[in-house]
Amino acid sequence: MKEATNMTFTIPLVPPLARTELARHLQHKLDQKTKPLGSLGRLEALALQLGLILGSEAPVLDAPQMLVCAADHGLAARGVSAYPSDVTWQMVENFLAGGAAVSVLARQHNLQMTVVDCGVRHQFAPREGLLIRKLGPGTADALAGPAMTMAQCEQAIAQGMAIVREMPGNVVLLGEMGIGNTSAASLLLARMGSLDIADCTGAGTGLDAAAVQHKTEVLRAVLRKHETAVTPLDALAAMGGFEIATMVGAVLQAASDNRVIVADGFITCAAVMVAQRLQSAVTERCVFAHRSGEQAHGKMLELLGAEPLLDLGLRLGEGSGAALAFPLLQSACLILREMASFASAGVAQSA
Report if residue 341 sits inside a domain. Answer: no
Pairwise CA distance, residues 340 & 334, whole Å:
11
Task: Establish if 239 belongs to a structural domain.
Answer: yes
Task: Identify the CATH number of the domain in which residue 314 sits.
Answer: 3.40.50.10210
- Has residue 171 been placed in a domain? yes
Cα–Cα distance for residue pair 72/85, rounded to 1 Å:
7
> Of these residues, 3, 128, 318, 338, which one is catalytic?
318
For position 307, what pLDDT does the model report?
A: 96
Identify whether 179 is part of a domain: yes
Residue 37 belongs to a domain: no
Give per-residue pLDDT as tens, 58-79: 999 999 999 999 999 999 999 9
261 belongs to a structural domain: yes
Percent of the chain residues topping a pLDDT of 70: 97
| Of the candidates 134, 43, 12, 36, the residue with the CA atom closest to the CA atom of residue 347 | 36
How wide is the angle at C-alpha 85 spanned by C-alphas 177 and 195, nearest 5°?
65
Structural domain contains residue 292: yes
In the chain, the number of structural domains is 1
Q: What is the residue range of 212's domain?
A: 65-328
Confidence of residue 351 (pLDDT cuts 50, 70, 90): low
Q: Which amino acid is at 56?
A: S
**The model's pTM:** 0.95
Average pLDDT, the chain: 95
Check if 318 is active-site: yes
pLDDT at 4 over 60: no
Higher-pLDDT residue of 69 and 348 is 69
Distance CA 219, CA 91 (A): 25
- Tens-digit pLDDT profile for residues 313-342: 999 999 999 999 999 999 999 999 999 999
Residue 343 lies in a domain: no
Question: Is it the case that residue 346 has pLDDT exceeding 90?
Answer: no
